[in-house]
Amino acid sequence: MMAVCPLVDLARGEARRLDVEPPIAVFHTEDGELFAIDDTCTHQDASLADGWLEGCEVECPLHASKFDLRTGAVDAPPAKRPVRTHEVSVRDGVIFVGVSADAPSAPAGVQVSTNAAPVSTDAT
Amino acid sequence: MKAVAVVGGSLAGLSAARALRNQGFDGRVSVISQEVHRPYDRPPLSKSFLAGAATESELALEAEEEDLDLDWRFGRYATALSPSQRSVELSDGTSVISDGIVIATGARPRTLGAASLQGVHVLRTLEDALGLKRELVPGTRLVMVGAGFIGAEVASTARGLGVEVTMISAAATPLIGPLGQQLGGIVSALHAEHGVRLIGGVEVTGLAGSERVTGVSLADGRMIEADVVLVAIGVRPNTEWLATSGLDAASGVLCNAYGATELPNVVAVGDCASWYDPVLAEHHRLEHWTGARERAAIAVSSLLSGGSEKRMGRPPYFWSDQYGLRIQLAGHLRAADSVVVEDGSADDGEFLAVYRRGDQPVAVLALGHGKSFMRWRRQLASQALSDPVSTL
Ligand SMILES: Cc1cc2nc3c(=O)[nH]c(=O)nc-3n(C[C@H](O)[C@H](O)[C@H](O)COP(=O)(O)OP(=O)(O)OC[C@H]3O[C@@H](n4cnc5c(N)ncnc54)[C@H](O)[C@@H]3O)c2cc1C
Ligand code: FES
C-alpha cells in the first residue's frame, strides 16, 4: 500500500500523478469514487492524469482514447490495449493505492525504466 | 441512404467510416485509398518513428480485431466526382456509385518546384519517412527549408540522431506564424539551445547540385551547404480531382460549420476540407490530427441527417513534441487581442499562456504544464458549448 494524499486534498473531478516507476494516476470522480490506473496512455506517450475525466472514463489528452477507470478497458480508439488498474482505499482520511502485481501497461516504444522500481517492470 | 463512398483512407476517412457504423449506418461503405497501406498514423513520422523508437506496425490506426465491414479499394485514387451520376471515377477505370460521399483526401506537401535532386525530401507518407530516415546518419548536414511544426519536429529528432541541422525560415523568427512573436521566440531559443542553426528573414531562391543536392541558395546571396534537404513549407489540399465536380475546392473543399458542401449528400472532412469557423467568421483548413478525427463524426451526422443535425465540435486542438517537451494549443489563437503568461515563465522554458479577446479566453498554449492546460481546454470547450459565437 502506498499513501497518496489526504482525501480532502484531491477534489472531485481532479487527478493526481504519483511519480513512481511507472507513474500511476489517481482519479476522484464527480460522483466521489476513487480509481487508480497506470498514468501513461497505452497508445503513445501521454499522461492520463492530464486527461479529460467524465463519469468513470478518462479521455487521453493527446488522441482522445477513452479508458474505463473501473476495468482499464479501452472504450474508444486509437489505443488498443487496456491500461493497468490498481486498488484504491481510504483509511483515516488518507488515500492509499495498492499497486497491482500485473505487468505495467506502458505503450510500445515508451521505455519503462527499471531503476528504483517498486513494481516489477518485465515485459513492457 | 444505402451506400456511401469515402474517398481517402487515412485518419479522416477511417474516422468517417467508424462514425458511419457508430451512427447506425449498415449499408455499403466503400473506402477509396490512393495508398497501398492500411490506414496509419502520420504524427510519429516526424517523431518516434523517425527516431527509430516506434516500428511500422505501431503506426496502424485500426485495432487488430476491428471489423467495420468496409469495402476497401487500396492503391487506387479518385479522378473525378460526378454528382449527377452519383459516381466517383477511379484511376483503374472503374467507378463507385453511391448515395452519399465523404471527401477525405487530405493534403500533400508543397514543394520548391525544382527538379528532383537526390537528397531532397518532403515528409507526409510512410515512404517519405523511410527515405528521410535512411539519410539521417550522424554527422550529416540537414538543411530544413521552412520552420513550421513539422520542420521543427524533424529538427528535434535529427539532433537526437546526431545530425547537424540548419533551419531556414522566411519569417524573422521561426514558428512565429503559428505561435506569435513572443512565444515563437521561446521555441526558437529551444532549438538554438539544442544546437540548431537558425537562419531567419530570408527567402530560399533555389537548390544547388547536379544529381544530388549540395546546397540551398538564399536571396541574400548566401549558399548553405547541405547533404540532405527537407522542404517543409506547408501543404496543399488534394482536391484537383474535384475540378469538374462543381464544388468550390481550390483551396480546400468549402463546407459549412458541419462539414456539408454545396452539393447535397456530399460532405468533406480532414486536411482537404475548409470548414466555416463561426468564431473566426471565415472558412479555413484545420490541418491537425484531432480535427480530422473529431470532425468526421460531425460530417457523418450531417450526411446521414440530410444536413438537419448540427453537432457541435470542440475547440481546435493541436500538439507538437520537440526536445522531449510537449507544446499544446487549443482554441483560436488568431481571435485574440492579448496574451498573458499564467503559469511558469518564458525563462523557465515551460509555461502556459492564455490568449484573450477582451476579457474572454479564446485560446490556450502551453509548453509542458499538461494539467493546467487541460483545465483551460475544458473551460474553452464549455464556453463554446454555452455560446459558440457571441462569447468569443
Ligand atoms: C510528419 C507529420 C507529423 C504530424 N504531426 C502532427 C502533430 O503532432 N499534431 C497534429 O495535430 N497533427 C500532426 N500532423 C497532421 C495530421 O497527420 C493530419 O492532420 C492528418 O493526417 C489529416 O488526416 P486526413 O485523413 O485528413 O489527411 P491525410 O492524412 O493526408 O490522408 C489523406 C489520404 O487520402 C489519399 N488520397 C489523396 N488523394 C486521393 C484521391 N484522389 N483518391 C483516393 N485517395 C486519395 C492520400 O493518399 C492519403 O492516404 C502531422 C502530419 C505529418 C505529415
Ligand atoms: S497517447 Fe493516448 S490516445 Fe494517443
Ligand 2 atom closest to residue A78's alpha carbon, by position in its atom list? 3
pLDDT 10s digits, A3-47: 999 999 999 999 999 999 999 999 999 999 999 999 999 999 999
- Which ligand 1 atom lies nearest to the CA of residue B13? 25
Q: What is the pLDDT of residues B333-388, one digit of tens each?
A: 889 999 899 999 877 778 999 999 999 999 999 999 999 999 999 999 988 777 65
Question: Does residue B299's CB lie within 6 angstroms of at least one atom of ligand 1?
Answer: no
Residue A110 lies in a domain: no
Neighbours of B193 (CB within 10 A): 10
Determine, yes or no, domain membership for A66: yes
| Ligand nearest to the CA of residue B288, numbered in listed order | 1
pLDDT of A95 reads 97
**What is residue B115's predicted lDDT score, i.e. its pLDDT?**
65
Instruction: Specify the ligand 1 atom closest to the Cα of B42.
Output: 17
Assigned domain for A117 exists: no
Return the CATH number at A66: 2.102.10.10
User: By a Cβ cutoff of 8 Å, what residues of chain B touch chain A?
Assistant: 18, 41, 44, 48, 53-55, 58, 61, 63-64, 66, 289-290, 293-294, 319, 328, 370-371, 373-374, 377-378
Domains B3-108+235-304 and B324-386 share a fold: no
Q: Which of A50, A61, A109 shows the shortest C-beta gap to B58?
A: A109
- What tens-digit pLDDT sequence spans chain B (392 residues)? 999 999 999 999 999 999 999 999 999 999 999 999 999 999 999 999 999 999 999 999 998 888 999 999 999 999 999 999 999 999 999 999 999 999 999 999 999 876 689 999 999 999 999 999 999 999 999 999 998 899 999 999 999 999 999 999 988 776 666 666 667 788 888 899 999 999 999 999 999 999 999 999 999 999 999 999 999 999 999 999 999 999 999 999 999 999 999 999 999 999 999 999 998 999 999 999 999 999 999 999 999 999 999 998 999 999 999 999 999 999 998 899 998 999 998 777 789 999 999 999 999 999 999 999 999 999 999 887 776 554 33
In a domain, A87, yes or no: yes
Q: Tell me how crowded residue A67 is: count the other CB atoms within 10 A of its CB.
A: 28
What spacing in Å lies between the alpha carbon of B96 and ligand 1's midpoint?
A: 23
Instruction: Answer whether B167's CB lies under 8 Å from B152's CB.
Output: yes
Residue A62 lies in a domain: yes
Which set of grid coordinates corresponds to residue A89? Answer: 482505499
A33/A95 Cα distance (integer angstroms): 12
| Number of Cβ atoms within 10 Å of the Cβ of B303 | 29
Are A108 and B374 within 8 A, CB to CB? no
Position A8 in a domain: yes
Mutation choice for ligand 1 from B32, B36, B38, B42, CB with most ligand atoms inside 8 A: B42
Q: CATH assignment of B111-231, given 3.10.20.340, 3.50.50.60, 3.20.20.100, 3.40.50.720?
A: 3.50.50.60
pLDDT at residue A124 tops 60 = no
- The answer to whether residue A113 scores a pLDDT higher than 90 is no
Share of chain B above pLDDT 90, in %: 84
| Cβ of residue A61 closer than 8 Å to a chain B Cβ | yes
Pocket test for ligand 1, best of B34, B255, B298, B327 (most atoms within 8 A of CB): B34
Q: Are B330 and B292 in contact (CB under 8 A)?
A: no
What is the best residue among A65, A75, A83 to mutate for testing ligand 2's pocket, by most ligand atoms within 8 Å of CB?
A65
Q: What is the pLDDT of residue B177?
A: 61
Domain residues for A56?
2-101
Using CA coordinates, name the residue in chain A closest to B314. A64
Q: What is the pLDDT of residue A118?
A: 40
The pLDDT > 70 percentage for chain A reads 86
Quote the pLDDT of residue B346: 74
Q: Tell which of A42, A62, A110 to mutate to test the B interface (max B CBs under 10 Å).
A: A62
Q: What is the pLDDT of residue A69?
A: 98
pLDDT tens for B52-64 read 999 999 999 998 8
Our answer on whether the CB atom of A60 is closer than 6 Å to any ligand 2 atom is yes
State the pLDDT at residue A108.
Answer: 63
For B3-108+235-304, give the CATH class: alpha beta
What are the boundaries of each domain within chain B? 3-108+235-304, 111-231, 324-386
C-alpha–C-alpha distance, residues B38 and B32, integer Å = 11
- CB-nearest to B54 from A52, A80, A109 is A109
Number of structural domains chain A divides into = 1
Phi and psi at residue B278, in whole multiples of 5°? -65, -30
What pLDDT is stored for residue B51 in this prediction? 97
User: Which residues fall within 8 angstroms of residue B121, CB to CB, at 6 or more apart?
Assistant: B128, B131, B132, B135, B228, B229, B230, B231
Query: Which among A49, A3, A8, A5 has a CA at the least distance from the CA of A27?
Result: A49
User: Rounded to the nearest whole angstrom, what is the distance from the C-alpha of residue B37 to the centroid of ligand 1?
Assistant: 13
The pLDDT, as a whole number, for residue B116 is: 83
For residues B188 and B198, what is the distance between their CA atoms, to the nearest angstrom? 8
Cell of B150: 513539422
Q: Report the distance separating Cα A88 and Cα A62, nearest Å.
A: 26
Q: With H, G, I as helix, E, B as strand and everything else as coil, classify residue B238.
A: coil
> Would you identify the CATH topology of the domain B324-386?
Enolase-like; domain 1 (3.30.390)
Give backbone dihedrals phi and psi of B370, rounded to 5 degrees, phi first: -60, -40
Paired strand residues for A47: A40
Residue A88 belongs to some domain of the structure: yes
Contact with chain B for residue A121, Cβ under 8 A: no
Q: Which of A50, A63, A80 sits opposite B289 (nearest CB)?
A: A63
B18: which chain A residues are within 8 Å (Cβ-Cβ)?
A: 77
Domain annotation covers residue A59: yes
Q: Please tell me the distance in Å from B356's CA to the nearest CA on chain A.
A: 22
